[in-house]
Amino acid sequence: MFERPSGGTKAVLVSLDRGAGDDAERLQEFRQLAASAGVECCAVVRGRRDRPDPKHYAGSGKVEEIKSIALDCNAGLVMFNHELSPVQQRNLETTLGCRIMDRVSLILEIFGQRARSHEGKLQVELAQLEYLATRLVRGWTHLERQRGARGALGGMGEKQIEVDRRLIAKRVKALKDKLVRLKRTREVQRRARVRGQVLSVSLVGYTNAGKSTLFNALTHAGAYAADQLFATLDTTTRRVYLPEAGKLVVSDTVGFIRDLPHTLVAAFRATLEETIHADLLLHVVDASSPTREEQIGEVDKVLREIGAAEIPQIIVWNKIDVNGLAPGVERDEYGKICRVRLSAATGEGVEFLRLALTEAAAKSAAHHPEPQQFTEA
């Protein structure tokens, strides 16, 4: 669907500081996104701009600088660390004479490469189509009307862009219908877990915080884990048995990122419902990241968007082996564990997380006692 960058594609990265004060961190994250998509960064163009230019996002002087650098590097791709409007993207492609990707299309491209399950692929395709529908005009320079099929004197038919919009709308409806059917299947499975009174736990957190590594440490599931953004896109669920607590259901979910495209939040809402219906969230945080507080805020923002903000959380301070923190737990004023410090990679401190889960399961069982069994006299 998207014209996928081939391996080793050279690209110029453009990141303009809008005065937020975190330009260095955003640029580093953007570099990681580009690397995750298999793109080779040959140059970075930085600058400062208070507000986007309506025509090119960047000013005319900066656009000329980008063009010159792209020619020197022989780069066929320019990537903006910002969301571009369809008009800005079209104007930039005309002026620079090469392909343009913005932050949203880059994230969609990564999701397209990484989705493995049937549902994940459907959700990615839906998000890509909804994004593409606003930019169809980019693909058609002629836009002439197609003649009627019957007779040499047939009237002027629909524009090609109108045909494409109708086809996309038809495919979007079909994808949404399939996702609704998959959602019903998942709801049946969820109701079975509720009847069995099994505590449901979901791992959430910023992308590359170590959720999948922690998931494997808890469940021994062997889920794919890598030091890259969006290594996990498909929700994986496993049962875990704790001697003091019994059975739990633990789910590993897609990671969040700042400025996550709304089309992806909407498309992945079905997958994220494992988070919405969880009894407990393990909010995994990269304790070694200098922007961990901002990352926590971004995750909480998405949780509010999907209606999961009120679910109890335990903060899991991961990667303590990187910054030398000691493993352990922190409790709130009520004696409840609110934070666990551990290293999922080395296993150090994972026993404290099992302790937190045991206490949470005991509290859940106290609020939802087993139904009484009656026998005939």
Q: Give pLDDT tens digits along the chain (377 positions).
A: 455 555 558 999 999 987 766 677 888 888 988 988 888 999 999 998 888 999 999 999 999 999 999 999 999 999 999 989 999 999 999 999 999 999 988 888 887 777 777 877 888 888 888 888 877 654 444 444 444 444 444 444 556 667 777 888 898 899 888 888 887 876 676 565 555 567 889 999 998 889 989 999 998 866 555 555 565 555 678 888 888 878 888 988 877 887 776 666 766 665 666 677 789 999 999 999 888 998 999 899 888 888 888 999 999 999 999 988 999 999 999 899 999 999 999 999 999 999 999 999 888 765 555 544 434 43
| Residue 340: per-residue pLDDT | 97
| Residue 225: per-residue pLDDT | 55
Q: What pTM was computed for the model? A: 0.73
Domain with CATH 3.40.50.300 in the chain: 193-367
The CA distances from residue 86 to 69, 74, 200, in Å, are: 23, 25, 42
Half-sphere exposure of 80 (CA within 13 A, CB side): 26
| Residue 367: per-residue pLDDT | 56
Cβ atoms within 10 Å, residue 10: 16
| Residue 228: per-residue pLDDT | 56
Given the DSSP bridges, would you call strands 145-147 and 156-159 parallel, antiparallel or unpaired? antiparallel
| Residue 5: per-residue pLDDT | 57
- CATH level 2 (architecture), domain 9-101: 3-Layer(aba) Sandwich (3.40)
CA–CA distance, 275 with 249 (Å, rounded to integer): 12
Quick one: how many helices (H) and strands (E) in the chain? Answer: 12, 13
| Residue 265: per-residue pLDDT | 72
DSSP-derived secondary structure for 93-156: HHHH-SEEE-HHHHHHHHHHHH--SHHHHHHHHHHHHHHHHTTGGGG-S--PEEEPSSSTTPPE
- Topology of domain 193-367 in CATH is Rossmann fold (3.40.50)
Token couple for 201: 């736990």
Strand partners, 239: 249
